Amino acid sequence: MVATATPLLRRATAFAGGVALTLGALLSVPTAAQASTDYGPAAWVPASTSNYTNASRESDYNINYVVIHTVQGSYTSAINWFQNPAAQVSAHYVVSKGGAVTQMVREADVAWHAGNWTYNTQSIGIEHEGYVEQDGWYTEAMYQASAAIVRSVTSKYGIPRDRAHIIGHSEVPGATHTDPGNRWNWSYFMQLVNGTTPPPSWTSTVDNTTSGRFTASANWGTSTYSSQKYGADYRYANPQAVSDAAWYKFNIPATASYRVEVWYPANTGYNATTPYIVAATGGNQTVVVNQQGRGGVWVNLGTFSLAGGDYNAVGVSRWSGGAGYVIADAVKLTRV
């Protein structure tokens, strides 16, 4: 049991970098875990006593926050790592892609998860299986299971169900981690936590070859050069200080918040300051993207308020101060 007045405050760098998957493989998860006494649906698999601080919350510390994490690994690897005395890191709960929940530190005790001692003492930490930079990990089952934990602890400790008190690891003061990342749907998750009805799901993708949905002048060429392209080909143009954007037209179902993602092939000879234009309700907003990297994946430009209707919603502008081709390939909108 750790009883020092200056316990380790940071999550282990090795764990964040994926080394935990190797070290964790040295241990095994019990095949028949006990039930949690704090939260009925969870199994109880205790973390090593070297990885948390024994406490009597809320007598010695008030619990004011819930901190959402991403493992950067599998459900099993997180459980194994928290059992390893060398980890010097833990969380109260671990949630799998399939919605399974394991508790590893009692809520009354202080888990070492936030990278900030004050927040450690005042929070419940929840780890989620998966990787920040990969799609497909944050499933409906995971959201539902995690939201149920949050409803339980917020009711128990009087924590307000808002984004000032339910936060990501990246939002902890002094944090160096980025989890849960921009693939975590905070809007939907908070609706589950608060029991409100989520908006109808909607997503739409427009490629440069989508009939009637993409327009560009003759200044935009067509290429099949890169294997990172979305679909059959993509468009390119020389940068120039002119209003000559390539536009993507969407039939947007209602005025609401939408996540805007873009796909392009990357090349060191492409433009490092490519302007994407989003026709938001408050006026056009420009997001500059470095098309020399992150190619062949969906790149999140952010969440924007878009009006309902059928119109040119996202454009790729040639008006860049950088050198190299600007690329127009595909755009995806998702209601959040």
Return all residues near 59 (Cβ < 8 A) that are at least 6 apart.
none
Determine the distance from the C-alpha atom of residue 214 to the mean position of all C-alpha atoms in its chain, rounded to a whole number.
Answer: 29
Would you place residue 256 in the very low, low, confident or very high pLDDT band (cuts 50, 70, 90)?
confident
Give the model's pLDDT for residue 25: 32
* CATH superfamily of this structure's domain 13-194: Peptidoglycan recognition protein-like (3.40.80.10)
Same fold across 13-194 and 203-335: no
Give the model's pLDDT for residue 255: 84
Q: Could you tell me the pTM of the whole model? A: 0.55
The strand pair at 43-44 and 34-35 is best described as: antiparallel
Determine the distance from the C-alpha atom of residue 185 to the mean position of all C-alpha atoms in its chain, rounded to a whole number.
Answer: 7
Determine the distance from the C-alpha atom of residue 164 to the mean position of all C-alpha atoms in its chain, rounded to a whole number.
Answer: 17
- Position 161, amino acid: R
Q: Are 187 and 154 in contact (CB under 8 A)?
A: no
Residue 61, burial from CB neighbour count under 10 angstroms (0-12, 13-18, 19+) = middle
Average pLDDT over residues 135-148: 92
Whether residue 3 has pLDDT greater than 60: no
Average pLDDT over residues 29-38: 63
- Residue closest to 150 by CA, chosen among 181, 120, 107: 107
Q: Tokens at residue 162, please?
A: 């808002």
Structure confidence by residue, pLDDT tens digits, 269-324: 999 999 999 999 889 999 999 999 999 999 999 889 899 999 999 999 999 999 99
Whether residue 4 has pLDDT greater than 90: no
Q: Specify the higher pLDDT residue, 187 or 236.
A: 236
**C-alpha–C-alpha distance, residues 181 and 133, integer Å:** 8
Q: Domains of the chain: which residue ranges? A: 13-194, 203-335
Give the model's pLDDT for residue 198: 65
Structure confidence by residue, pLDDT tens digits, 72-127: 999 999 999 999 999 999 999 999 999 999 999 999 999 999 999 999 999 999 99
Which CATH number, 3.40.50.20, 2.60.40.10, 2.60.120.260, 3.40.50.11890, labels domain 203-335? 2.60.120.260
Whether residue 254 has pLDDT greater than 60: yes
4: how many CB neighbours lie within 10 A of its CB? 7
Cis ω for the linkage preceding 58 (within 30 of 0):
yes
Whether residue 161 has pLDDT greater than 80: yes
Give the model's pLDDT for residue 282: 84
CA–CA distances in Å: residue 194 to residues 154, 248, 320: 10, 35, 43
Average pLDDT for the chain: 89
Would you place residue 33 in the very low, low, confident or very high pLDDT band (cuts 50, 70, 90)?
low
